[in-house]
Amino acid sequence: MKTIKGPALFLAQFAGDEAPFNSWDAITKWAADVGYVGVQVPSWDGRLFDLDKAASSKDYCDEIAGVARQNGVEITELSTHLQGQLVAVHPVYDEMMDGFAAPEVHGNPKKRQEWAVDQVKKALTASKHLGHTAQATFSGALAWPFLYPFPQRPAGLVEAAFDELAKRWTPILDHAEEMGVNLCYEIHPSEDLHDGVTFEMFLERTGNHARANMLYDPSHYVLQCLDYLDNIDIYKDRIGMFHVKDAEFNPTGRQGVYSGYQNWVDRAGRFRSLGDGQVDFAAVFSKMAANDFDGWAVVEWECCLKHPEDGAREGAQFVSDHIIRVTERAFDDFADAGTDDAANRRILGLGG
pLDDT tens track for 129-170 = 999 999 999 999 999 999 999 999 999 999 999 999 999 999
Res 341: pLDDT: 87
Higher pLDDT pick, 340 / 297: 297
Residue 282's pLDDT is what? 98
pLDDT at 40 over 70: yes
* Residue 243, domain member (yes or no): yes
pTM: 0.95
Burial of residue 60, with CB atoms counted within 10 A of its CB: 0-12 exposed, 13-18 middle, 19 or more buried: middle
Task: Domain of residue 219: give its range.
Answer: 5-347
Q: Residue 304 and residue 268: Cα distance in Å, rounded?
A: 12
In the predicted structure, residue 236 carries a pLDDT above the cut 90: yes
- Between CA 32 and CA 266 the distance in angstroms is 34
Residue 335 has pLDDT above 80, yes or no: no
CATH code for the domain in which residue 337 is found: 3.20.20.150
**What is the pLDDT, as a whole number, of residue 179?**
98
Mean pLDDT to the nearest integer, 216-238: 98
pLDDT over 90 at 327, yes or no: no
Measure the CA–CA gap between 75 and 287, rounded to whole angstroms: 25
Mean pLDDT (whole number) for 280-291: 97
Q: What is the mean pLDDT of residues 203-223?
A: 98
- The answer to whether position 273 is within a domain reads yes
Instruction: Note whether 287 and 233 are within 8 A (CB).
Output: yes
Q: Is residue 352 part of a domain?
A: no
Mean pLDDT of the chain: 96
* Domain count along the chain: 1
Residue 32 lies in a domain: yes
Specify the pLDDT at position 352.
60
Rounded to an integer, the average pLDDT of 55-71 is 98
Which pLDDT does position 291 carry in this prediction?
95
CA–CA dist 266, 270 (Å, integer): 8
The pLDDT value recorded for residue 313 is: 98
